[in-house]
Structure 1
Amino acid sequence: MDRTSIIGIVLIMLLFLAWQYVAAPSAAEIEMEQRYQDSIAALSEAELRAGEELPAQTDVASPAELSDSLRQVQYGSRFGAFATAAAGTAQDIVIENDLMKVTFSTKGGTIRQAELKNYAKVVEREGKEELHLPLLLLEDEKNKFEYIIPVNGVAGDGVRTSDLYFTPTVEGETLTMRAPVEGGGYFEQRYTLTDGTYLIDYDIRFEGLNTVMANTDGTVRLHWENHLDKIEKNSQYEASYSTLYYKPVDDDTDYCSCTSDDTETLDDQPLKWVAGSQQFFTSALIADDRFSSAVLTTVADEDRLSDDELKLLVSDLNLPIGSSASETFGMSFYVGPNEFERLRAIGYDLSDVVSFGSSIFGTINRWVIRPLFNFLSGFIGNMGIAILVLTLLVKMLVYPLTYKMLVSNQKMQVLKPEIEKIKAKHKDDSQSAQVETMKLYQEYGASPLGGCLPMVLQMPIWFALYRFFPASITFRQENFLWANDLSTYDSIMRLPEWIPFMQGHLSLFAVLWAITTVIYAYYNSRHMDYSAQPMMKYFQYIMPVMFLGFFNSFAAGLTCYLFFSNVFNIAQTLVTKNFIIDDDKLRAKLNANKEKPKKKGGFSARLQEALKEQQRQQSSAQSKKK
């Protein structure tokens, strides 16, 4: 080897040594690379444990610490252009108005919880001690609110925004959160609160994502899982009033099943809004325009829920998104109480989430009973007193019919001696006795059905109130006498769980209703004849006891109304029979009716003919047997 070759080799070795020295990584870079390798190992282990499901947050270096190449290697296959927003630290951002305080998380850019300032959750401890806690909605840690954005280079449905970290900006009562993409674009969620309302203005924006998003059918899917937690004292009844409501753009409001698992697939039915409603509170998402389609699911099966869960509501909504460089979809978020007037002011039939009913009884609740209670509460501070006044008004309105009922009952009492003579005459022939009795009623102008009309007319009010009290937030946590909440049962005593139908407690208003029902039935039936149907005499006493188990867990507002109604019935009966109806005048009137010429036809005549025909058929059948 000549001298020139040796000098060249030495120079090359010196240059190589110098390059190694200059290019060697610093201690910080070595540490960062080690953290990267540890993160890759952690991800691999998590994938082995959970299949395709990746952890929501991994202990990795933040995007600021990673170089572009390392970030793309670590997150590119899963997040594509959103790799910049794929790692970070979750932070809570709070904005509030006079009615609510809303906490947002930068992880996913969604509502983490909403506190309603004017309402409380009451937890009953042992010894009937009550603990008032803040009332929170959308607070369950298992909740999800995420958009699935189809992105180039990302397998599966696309990128889920719940896995992204958003950059927050707060200006007054407006919160803007952005998840950036490579090249300067971003996905944005903007929330704005305004005083005096539970309505949150909510918009999403796709800026510069037209080159990032994969070709789709022109929609982006929103996946919303709302795990409803138990809020009210009677969670079983609360569950029966909790479900998903939805409003088709060109149709009436509808809802999923309230009592069992249900799925509604609305492929070709655009929706204006969807609402997860509990007994007294609702979280609704309202589109400025429309959601193009949806799949709505409710899970009510207790075996599929945790102990503290009421129901699971799942909404998969498709949002129509164009292909331009800047796309916006406007919405509103209602997170608040089921106050009828407040929801009605929003429009789009959102007040239908208040479970007053959809039949004629719902109409009575919305436009008769509700306005009447609003009027009474305007000058009556206690809702229990308002119920008492309502009962009095109803009884005054139907008193003319009640008076006729009592006169009809008194006629039966006056005619009882004549009826006894007919029974003695036809003691071996019940058919003949019934025919003669009907003929007697016709002669004297009496009717055994005269007492039914007032009760029939009051039944729509009873059925309407059955739905009204547990659905109206007006009575929630309103005190009256021993009841501390008129929207649920008024427990005065704990009972063993093994007692059937009572559900571990005793409600005093329900007991008082049962007792007064028995008293009223006894007073009215003293002069009635039950020889044809002897079981009816005992059934009228058994029925209140049977219904006690039903009313025992019902809203105290209703059982309070029914108890007051019985008290007024007894009072009206005693006063009317003892001080208003004159038996002598009534007897004279009956005798005068007997002397009047009788018109042929009428209900009594037709009933009498029917009984005669039945009697002839029975006699004919007996003759053939002989």
Structure 2
Amino acid sequence: MEMDRSTIVGLVLILIIFAVWQTVVAPSPEELEAQQRYQDSITALNEATLTPEADIAPEFTPTELAGLTDSARQAKFGNAFGPFAASAAGEAKEVVVENDLMIVTLNTKGGNIKRVELKEYAKMIEGEEGKMVKLPLYLMEDEKNRFEYTLPVNGVSGAGINTSDLYFTPKVEGQTVIMRAPTSNGGYFEQRYSLKDGTYLMDYDLRFEGLNQVLVNQGGNIQLQWDNYLDKIERNSQYESTLSTMYFKPTDDDSDYCSCTSTDSETVDGQSLKWVAGSQQFFTSALLADNSFSPGSVLATEVFDLETSPDLEKVSATLNIPVGNSNSEAVGMQLYVGPNEFDRLRAIGHDLSDVISFGRSIFGGINRWIIRPLFGFLSKYISNMGIAILVLTLIVKLLVYPLTYKMLVSNVKMQVLKPELEKMKAKHKDDAQAQQMEQMKMYQEYGASPLGGCLPMVLQMPIWFALYRFFPASIEFRQESFLWANDLSTYDVLTKIPDWIPFMQGHISLFAVLWAITTVIYAYYNSRHMDYSAQPMMKYFQYVMPILFLGFFNSFAAGLTAYLFFSNTFNIAQTIITKNFLIDHDKLKAKMEENRKKPKKKSGFSARLQEALKEQQRQQAAQNGTKKKGK
């Protein structure tokens, strides 16, 4: 049944009123925050009500703790912590250890890393009036992070106690910090961090002293839970998120990783692991076993809504740490918390450099073993990475110039042949098939080919695809300025524009615009003499294509768009110089005429194609004759 006009108008008005009402009565951000605080307090109250008092380790002041004897502590916390009751309460303090590259801050509660500051790197944020402000760069700094072991203790219910609930006694020896959680029987659980100058790799060792009678199921595994909330560090958080995930390396297999773009988890059954790494665009926090982590590890990533979340992603690892059954056990590991520098990670070994997102295919190989070493060589003599990109573009163009020359010769042949093609098409203007046959015949006679210019572009495509991954993954370009771009690893900003403009992400990249303009200029100059009568849309598509791709390149690394702009500029210059000064048009035309007079031996493919066209022409003629008879 059709609705009349009045009904439709009424429904529209109702919808408008409903939308206005929703806007008016919707709670303000302050009200939403107050509601959330209220809900959080109710949740905390319920959890406190449901939790037995004996399982809670209350905070104490130093004075109160000083008054507690060992027996008093045991009576207070024995049910929840067993022999670790002596470490169940205390005061959380920070302990700092550093080398020439980083400052590591440890927390006595849990005995784990609170944050790591990288001295040679900075985080840049946009301040007032669009100016970039430099801040210290921290890794593993989020208060929500977890790095805790579950110790199965005799006399304690459940899975055991978590080391994040214990207060460790610190001891500093030079660049080494020893964190110990003592037990009532004179034993202890120890975490030892040792730094050396010149490296982001620290030794991280566990020691189980006198715990063989304290822990249940010794000779098995101790579980480590590592949750790391990755901070938004780079300007383009959306792209940074696509390069952030949890990597892992089975001891007898290639490295692998969880999904970079969606929430994912991987359970590694039947395989031990050599290392796990929470990696983002330019920085990595990795844990490496001296031997291996036992099978059954679970790796996971959780992707957040970047518009509402202060964090980039959450990466997690649940690891099984093998521990023996002797009175004194030690487990050796290493922690790498630092930049994704290829040479540094490769020197560590065990394929840890795979955390750099160069790609896993042939393009990744090109990046690792051709483009990266070439840039490394250029950077020894060129301090500005933008100039290095310009020099790289020139090198690539010189390498492929012999093929480019052949392409341009082919274009000039098509230019010379164009008047003859137009005459032929005028002669067969009403017969498209005859035009095709004659056109192929002329191409063969004159030694010309409309596809002669494709090969150089095809050969350069692997380089383009490789560079697409290279610039955003190479820390060497991070915060390196060139001309108006202040960071070649992310997009440059000519001006800000409204966010509602589609595909542009609120800004205009000048390098991307220059690429689009020079692509149109190159397409126009290179195809002025091309024949598009058979496919007229192709003539316009080559001009529309750069506009369509502008939205994609607008938010991409300025290093890549600068390279593409330089490449187009060199292409235009090569085309103008080669066609006007290096190719003798008259001599080439004479050679084509000479070639036309020579007898031609048809190739098998050419002969079959021409025969197919002739057969199609005969069928069309027969069909037209039948139609005439039927009239």
Q: Same fold (TM over 0.5)?
A: yes
The one-character-per-residue Cα deviations of 1:114-149 (angstroms, maximum 9, x if unpaired) are: 010000000112422111001110001110100011
2:146 and 2:57 map into 1 onto residues whose CA distance is 12
How much identity, in percent, do the aligned residues show? 70
Structure 1 counterpart of 2:22 = none
Tell me the TM-score normalized by structure 1: 0.90
Matched-pair contact (CA < 8 Å) for 2:218–2:323 = no
Amino acid at match of 1:173: Q
CA, structure 1 residues 464+52, in 2 after alignment: closer, same or farther (shift >3 Å)? Answer: farther
Name the larger-Rg structure.
1
The one-character-per-residue Cα deviations of 1:447-503 (angstroms, maximum 9, x if unpaired) are: 111000000000000000000000000000001000000000001100100000000
* Counterpart pick for 1:112 among 111, 114, 118: 114
2:311 and 2:469 map into 1 onto residues whose CA distance is 24
Matched-pair contact (CA < 8 Å) for 2:150–2:224 = yes
Structure 2 counterpart of 1:74 = 76
Give ranges in structure 2 of 5+ residues lacking alignment: 1-43
Structure 2 counterpart of 1:140 = 142
Structure 2 counterpart of 1:396 = 398
CA, structure 1 residues 567+255, in 2 after alignment: closer, same or farther (shift >3 Å)? Answer: same
Matched-pair contact (CA < 8 Å) for 1:202–1:333 = yes
Tell me the TM-score normalized by structure 2: 0.89
* Counterpart pick for 1:359 among 358, 361, 369: 361
2:396 and 2:509 map into 1 onto residues whose CA distance is 24
* Counterpart pick for 1:299 among 298, 302, 320: 302
Give the SS at the match of 1:148. Answer: strand
2:615 and 2:263 map into 1 onto residues whose CA distance is 54
CA RMSD of aligned residues (A): 1.9
* Counterpart pick for 1:269 among 268, 271, 274: 271
Structure 1 counterpart of 2:127 = 125
Q: CA deviation at 1:215?
A: 2.0
Matched-pair contact (CA < 8 Å) for 1:361–1:460 = yes
Matched-pair contact (CA < 8 Å) for 1:98–1:196 = yes
Structure 1 counterpart of 2:39 = none
Amino acid at match of 2:388: A
Structure 2 counterpart of 1:572 = 574
Alignment coverage as a number of residue pairs? 582
CA, structure 1 residues 553+51, in 2 after alignment: closer, same or farther (shift >3 Å)? Answer: farther
The one-character-per-residue Cα deviations of 1:60-103 (angstroms, maximum 9, x if unpaired) are: 78554223443233212221111110000011000100011110
1:368 and 1:517 map into 2 onto residues whose CA distance is 26
Matched-pair contact (CA < 8 Å) for 1:222–1:316 = yes
Structure 1 counterpart of 2:198 = 196
Amino acid at match of 1:58: E
CA, structure 1 residues 55+581, in 2 after alignment: closer, same or farther (shift >3 Å)? Answer: farther
2:616 and 2:326 map into 1 onto residues whose CA distance is 83
1:498 and 1:278 map into 2 onto residues whose CA distance is 29
Structure 1 counterpart of 2:59 = 58
Q: CA deviation at 1:422?
A: 1.5
CA, structure 1 residues 501+57, in 2 after alignment: closer, same or farther (shift >3 Å)? Answer: farther
Q: CA deviation at 1:607?
A: 3.8
1:355 and 1:436 map into 2 onto residues whose CA distance is 51
2:66 and 2:317 map into 1 onto residues whose CA distance is 35
1:511 and 1:346 map into 2 onto residues whose CA distance is 41
The one-character-per-residue Cα deviations of 1:329-359 (angstroms, maximum 9, x if unpaired) are: 1000000000000000000010111110000
Amino acid at match of 2:484: W
* Residue 539, structure 1, aligned to residue 541, structure 2: yes
Matched-pair contact (CA < 8 Å) for 2:59–2:91 = no
The one-character-per-residue Cα deviations of 1:549-573 (angstroms, maximum 9, x if unpaired) are: 0000000000000000000000000
1:217 and 1:323 map into 2 onto residues whose CA distance is 5
Matched-pair contact (CA < 8 Å) for 1:264–1:297 = yes
Structure 1 counterpart of 2:14 = none
Structure 1 counterpart of 2:178 = 176
Matched-pair contact (CA < 8 Å) for 1:442–1:605 = no
CA, structure 1 residues 49+538, in 2 after alignment: closer, same or farther (shift >3 Å)? Answer: farther
Matched-pair contact (CA < 8 Å) for 2:219–2:323 = no
CA, structure 1 residues 319+617, in 2 after alignment: closer, same or farther (shift >3 Å)? Answer: farther
Matched-pair contact (CA < 8 Å) for 2:221–2:322 = yes
Q: CA deviation at 1:367?
A: 0.4
Give the SS at the match of 1:213. Answer: coil
Amino acid at match of 2:270: D
Give the SS at the match of 2:381. Answer: coil
Matched-pair contact (CA < 8 Å) for 1:239–1:259 = yes
Structure 2 counterpart of 1:3 = none
* Residue 595, structure 1, aligned to residue 604, structure 2: no
Amino acid at match of 2:91: T
Amino acid at match of 1:345: A
Matched-pair contact (CA < 8 Å) for 1:513–1:562 = yes
Q: CA deviation at 1:600?
A: 2.2
2:347 and 2:184 map into 1 onto residues whose CA distance is 43
The one-character-per-residue Cα deviations of 1:512-536 (angstroms, maximum 9, x if unpaired) are: 0000000011111211111111111
Give the SS at the match of 2:556. Answer: coil
Amino acid at match of 2:80: R
